[in-house]
Amino acid sequence: MLTITDGGSLSRALRMPIDLRLKRLLIKRRDQLGGDITGQARFVIVQPGDSPDALEAELGFSILQNPADGTRFGDPDFTPGWEWIEEHGHCFELAFIMTDDGFAHIVLIENSQGVEPELLRLCQIYVTVKV
């Protein structure tokens, strides 16, 4: 799992051996946020081998649970708690805005072998925008 919270951690991530398409998406989002993500967004990249529990520990909430009503993915009444989800082919991008100040938690789930199947299934079922 890779967490990006500011310009320094973004620079380090861009030097890592991650998918070039993911790097381009991170640069695009940084530019859309005016060049500095500090205080505006936190990006969490879910990679092969990362568990839902580890993601929950990193975020402080579970993407598999609706924060308003407590329903979990798989429950018949479950609805996701994100603002939006996009499929980019190589990854899914989920945006969570949990506070009134607009701070965003952006979860990027790599669409690849070894990524937790439950996370991929969640994305595949609820994705509405394919880029």
pLDDT digits (tens, 9 = 90+) for 13-50: 999 999 999 999 999 999 999 999 999 999 999 999 99
The pLDDT assigned to 100 comes to 85
> Does pLDDT of 115 surpass 80?
yes
Report the distance separating Cα 90 and Cα 83, nearest Å.
20
For residues 74-96, average pLDDT: 96
For residues 90-116, average pLDDT: 95
Report the distance separating Cα 128 and Cα 33, nearest Å.
23
The pLDDT assigned to 27 comes to 97
DSSP class of residue 99 equals S
Taking Cα atoms as reference points, which of 31, 29, 25, 106 lies closest to residue 63? 106
